[in-house]
Amino acid sequence: MSSATPKKRLKPKISSPPPPPSASRRSPIALEPPRHLFPSKQELLRLVVVLAIASSVAVACNFLANFLRPQTKPFCDSDLDALDAFADDCEPCPSHGECHKGKLDCARGYRKLGRSCVEDGDINETARKLSEWVENHLCESNAQLLCYGMGTAWVPAEEIWNDLDGHPLMKNFGWDTAIFIYTKQKAIEATGKIMQNRTEVSGMKELKCPDSVAEHFKPYTCRIRLWIFKHVLLVVPVSLLLVASAMLIWKVRCRWHLSTRVEELYHQVEELVQEDSRIDRYPKLVKGESKVVWEWQVEVFINIMVSAY
């Protein structure tokens, strides 16, 4: 018996997709870019013109800015030699200034104004007021000495220096600062140019107000007293004359007042007498002058008295 051989199952053939058409077969219209993707010649020309105008404006603005505000040179260092300070690549350091690495710092008492150093107005004003205060203090002290013999004329500069520490104006600068010390030095220097000064053997400097200036600081009572002592030979007789004149005027006034009162009393008596019917008046020559004689009528008075009783 023969065995049957198994039959092989045939696999179905899968058909592969058709190959894409070659690039050579594609249409030429599909490869060209759209017309609106690139600008036209007129638009390119306009763009070039706009860029040219913008570049011209930028160049002109840059030139104008450099012309109106030129580049400033840095400052030469203060420690350079005199010849090196006038180099072309740096500017000499201004007066009252200290320059380092091209930067400017003004000295004490000065402030920066542009590229220079000017005096600080606040410090100068404070120093001026302090100088006036010291002058008044010195002149008042000398005036007391000239008037009453008390006090002193010469004041040590160290004492004035310590007195300035408590002045209200110095509180604006703070205590123990460089500006504080500089302001006091400036005030004392200004005072020393006006006041008299001397140096003791010990090296201590002293200041004094001139006597001619101290005269204006004397009190009025002192001025009057000193004037009287100076002109005593003229003041005494004038004073006696004034007293005698005052007494004479007082007596004359008293007499005038008394005579006025007597005259007023006379007129009152005259009015009373004229109203009395017992008084008879008639003219009469007295020593060749016509006078009005008043005569008392005694008989009329007696008759009136008798009739009354």
DSSP for 165-223?
A: HT-GGGGGS-SS-HHHHHHHHHHHHHHHTTSEEEE-TTS-EEEE--HHHHGGGS-HHHH
Q: Could you report how far apart the first and last alpha carbons of the chain are, in Å?
A: 229
Distance CA 159, CA 154 (A): 11
Structure tokens at 52: 């040219």
Residue pair 141/152 in contact by the 8 Å Cβ criterion: yes
143 contacts: CB under 8 Å, gap ≥ 6: 209, 214, 215, 217, 218, 219, 222
Stretch 134-139: mean pLDDT: 92
**pLDDT the model gives residue 18:** 53
Stretch 170-181: mean pLDDT: 69
pTM for the structure as a whole: 0.47
Structure tokens at 261: 């009162």
For the cut 80, the answer to whether the pLDDT of residue 5 exceeds it is: no
How does DSSP classify residue 119?
Answer: E
Residue scoring higher pLDDT (32 or 116): 116
What's the pLDDT band for 132 if we cut at 50, 70, 90? very high
